[in-house]
């Protein structure tokens, strides 16, 4: 099992933003976290990234209990990476942004260059190596952020609403990249979204959150349509 | 008016002839001010970062005290340091009074609050997501701190340049702790004050021109760096 959460609570002041008696996530899958604003999706994602400590309860990662007091939390952080909804680019070039996690991991200069070129090609941003990262559009920033996350060679990538503020072209590109990351690089993917269609298209499993709790979802009608009789009397479904 | 123009003309001639006294005064000024700015930056930037980044009891009070110290008059610092380093002071045995080291000590006290306060302000304005991004990319505490300081670099650089401007233009500390000794502790501002007392304006005006030119040069350099980074 990739993650197991037991009796997990996160409380800010007097507000309980997460209250999860039990949640488990299998490795190697694409998991969607669905829920309205304020459901606790981002908070849960930050728990998965070991950036936020639960107020109470346990987080288990690959069969080992996560201890935020322990110095080894940084080692865990290097195995999981989060791509935020509005990713932050450091105010240097695209190349330097991608180089940051590689430098931290003490990758040789020659290998760094090779990895950067490969990743920029993967996200379709090959010509942007020397561009100033903070001058990119929303969709381009998102793609560079994905490349930078992949430079970490993570076991898990967490996306916080990866296509929330991008155009259709970038949305298609990002969805393709997410599939490739999962299928070709065998990286587990967890992402939050409001878009049920997207969740249905991309995920192996969907977790519904509502007001910080797991919500049971019946089969959702994500398309609207009517059942109409056909020319020979057989029924057919007319969408829209 | 004619008198001012004459002084200005004579000052330009003095600058053109590279007058040794003028060169000495300018070099002492630059040496003392650069030293104090470097030392104050090495203290003020990390302290400002820690204050901005950490939550601890009394944080607001500390920031209020630092803000108050921004208005500290140079003569008060001069008196304070004098009390310690004069012969009767507890540091009297070190024979620091009327040396460049004494001037540096006073100037560091003057500008550490400036650099600290502006670093706190610069770091506090950096989006929390920079910290989280650095951490999720695998950075340790030191590497995360470096990312944040790098993002706040222009504001911090502005604080350092403002502090250098403050010390190179101050008179009180240099006069009280340096003693305005010719060739040793005479700076541009103390020399200008002396020339004024003597009624000799030529060297004073020449030094004023140098002082303004240094300030202008620093600002051009700062704008150039900012411009390069934002292209």
Chain A within 8 Å of B142 (Cβ-Cβ)? Answer: no
Closest CA relative to residue A159, chosen from A170, A173, A174: A174
Chain A within 8 Å of B136 (Cβ-Cβ)? Answer: yes
Q: What's the complex ipTM?
A: 0.84
Task: Note the pLDDT tens digit of each residue in A98-146.
Answer: 999 999 999 999 999 999 999 999 999 999 999 999 889 888 999 999 9
How many CA within 13 A on the CB side of residue A15? 8
Task: Note the pLDDT tens digit of each residue in B67-84.
Answer: 999 999 999 999 999 999
CB of B161 closer than 8 Å to CB of B66: no
Task: Note the pLDDT tens digit of each residue in B17-64.
Answer: 888 888 999 999 999 999 999 999 999 999 999 999 889 999 999 999
CA closest to A80 among chain B residues: B136
Looking at residue A134, its pLDDT comes to 87
Min Cα distance B162 → chain A (Å) is 23
Degrees to nearest 5, angle at CA A237 with A232 and A239: 140
* Interface test with chain A among B130, B138, B143, B230, by most A beta carbons within 10 Å: B138
| CA distance readout (Å), A109 to A100, A133, A193, A199, A203 | 12, 21, 37, 39, 36
Chain B within 8 Å of A100 (Cβ-Cβ)? Answer: yes
Residue numbers in B near A91 (CB within 8 A): 150-151, 229
For the ranges A28-42, A221-235, B172-186, the lowest mean pLDDT is seen at A221-235
The order of strands in the sheet holding A64-65 is A15-25, A3-12, A56-61, A64-65
CA closest to B231 among chain A residues: A132
CB of B103 closer than 8 Å to CB of B186: no
Task: Note the pLDDT tens digit of each residue in A73-94.
Answer: 889 999 999 999 899 999 999 9
Name which residue leads in pLDDT, B228 or A137. A137
For B151, left (φ over 0), alpha (ψ -120 to 50), or beta? alpha
CA A68 to chain centre: 22
| CA distance readout (Å), B96 to A168, A220, B91, B169 | 71, 81, 8, 22
| CA distance readout (Å), B90 to B73, B85, B93 | 23, 7, 8
Residue B148: pLDDT above 70? yes
Using DSSP bridges, classify how beta strands A64-65 and A15-25 pair: parallel, antiparallel or unpaired: unpaired
Q: Quick one: pLDDT band at residue B131, thresholds 50, 70, 90?
A: very high
Residue B169 host element (H or E): none
> In the predicted model, what is the mean pLDDT of residues A43-66?
94
**Residues A28, A61: Cα–Cα separation, whole Å:** 14
Chain B within 8 Å of A86 (Cβ-Cβ)? Answer: yes
CA dihedral B206, B212, B218, B224 (to 10 degrees): -110
Using DSSP bridges, classify how beta strands A3-12 and A15-25 pair: parallel, antiparallel or unpaired: antiparallel
Q: Quick one: pLDDT band at residue A240, thresholds 50, 70, 90?
A: low
Looking at residue A223, its pLDDT comes to 59
Q: What percent of chain A has pLDDT over 70?
A: 95
Facing residue for B151 by CB, picked from A46, A80, A91: A91
Chain A within 8 Å of B132 (Cβ-Cβ)? Answer: yes
Facing residue for B138 by CB, picked from A88, A90, A152: A152
CB of B202 closer than 8 Å to CB of B11: yes
* Interface test with chain A among B126, B132, B133, by most A beta carbons within 10 Å: B133
* Interface test with chain A among B125, B129, B137, by most A beta carbons within 10 Å: B137
CB atoms B129 and A104 under 8 Å: no
Cβ neighbours of residue A118 closer than 8 Å, sequence gap 6 or more: none
CA closest to B138 among chain A residues: A78
CB atoms B147 and A90 under 8 Å: yes
CA closest to A81 among chain B residues: B136
List the alpha helices (DSSP H) in chain B: 2-16, 20-53, 59-69, 74-85, 100-124, 128-136, 141-151, 153-168, 172-173, 188-198, 202-230
């Amino acid at each position: 099992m990739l993650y197991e959460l037991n009796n997990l609570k996160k409380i800010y002041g007097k507000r309980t933003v997460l209250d999860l008696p039990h949640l488990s996530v299998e490795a190697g899958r694409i998991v969607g976290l669905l829920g309205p604003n304020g459901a606790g999706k981002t908070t849960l994602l930050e728990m998965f990234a070991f950036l936020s400590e639960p107020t109470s309860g346990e987080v288990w990662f690959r069969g080992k209990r996560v201890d935020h007091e322990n110095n080894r939390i940084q080692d865990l952080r290097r195995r999981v990476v989060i791509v935020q909804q509005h990713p932050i680019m450091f105010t240097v070039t695209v190349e330097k942004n991608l180089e940051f996690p590689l430098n931290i991991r003490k990758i040789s200069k020659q290998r760094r260059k090779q990895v950067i070129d490969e990743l920029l090609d993967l996200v379709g941003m090959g010509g942007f190596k020397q561009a100033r990262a903070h001058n990119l559009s929303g969709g381009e920033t998102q793609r560079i952020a994905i490349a930078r996350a992949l430079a970490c060679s993570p076991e898990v990538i967490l996306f916080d609403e990866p296509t929330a503020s991008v155009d259709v072209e970038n949305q298609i590109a990002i969805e393709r990249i997410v599939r490739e990351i999962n299928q070709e690089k065998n990286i587990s993917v967890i992402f939050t979204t409001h878009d049920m269609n997207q969740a249905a298209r991309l995920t192996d499993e969907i977790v519904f959150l509502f007001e910080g709790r797991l919500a049971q979802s019946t089969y959702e009608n994500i398309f609207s349509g009517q059942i109409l009789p056909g020319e020979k009397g057989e029924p057919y479904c007319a969408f829209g | 008016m004619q008198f001012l123009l004459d002084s200005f003309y004579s000052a330009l001639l003095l600058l053109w002839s590279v007058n040794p006294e003028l060169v000495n005064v300018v070099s002492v000024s630059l040496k003392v001010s650069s030293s104090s700015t470097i030392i104050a930056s090495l203290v003020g930037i990390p302290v400002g970062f820690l204050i901005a980044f950490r939550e601890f009891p009394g944080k607001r009070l500390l920031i209020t005290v630092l803000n108050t110290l921004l208005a500290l008059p140079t003569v008060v610092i001069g008196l304070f340091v004098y009390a310690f380093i004069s012969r009767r002071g507890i540091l009297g045995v070190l024979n620091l009074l009327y040396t460049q080291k004494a001037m540096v000590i006073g100037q560091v006290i003057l500008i550490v609050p400036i650099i600290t306060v502006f670093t706190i302000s610069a770091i506090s304005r950096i989006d929390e997501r920079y910290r989280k991004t650095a951490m999720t990319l695998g950075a340790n505490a030191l590497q995360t701190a470096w990312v944040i300081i790098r993002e706040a670099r222009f504001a911090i650089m502005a604080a350092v340049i403002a502090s250098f401007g403050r010390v190179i233009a101050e008179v009180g500390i240099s006069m009280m702790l340096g003693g305005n000794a010719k060739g040793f502790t005479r700076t541009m501002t103390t020399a200008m004050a002396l020339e004024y007392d003597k009624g000799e304006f030529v060297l004073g005006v020449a030094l004023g021109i140098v002082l303004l030119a240094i300030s202008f040069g620093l600002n051009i350099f700062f704008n150039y760096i900012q411009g390069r980074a934002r292209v």
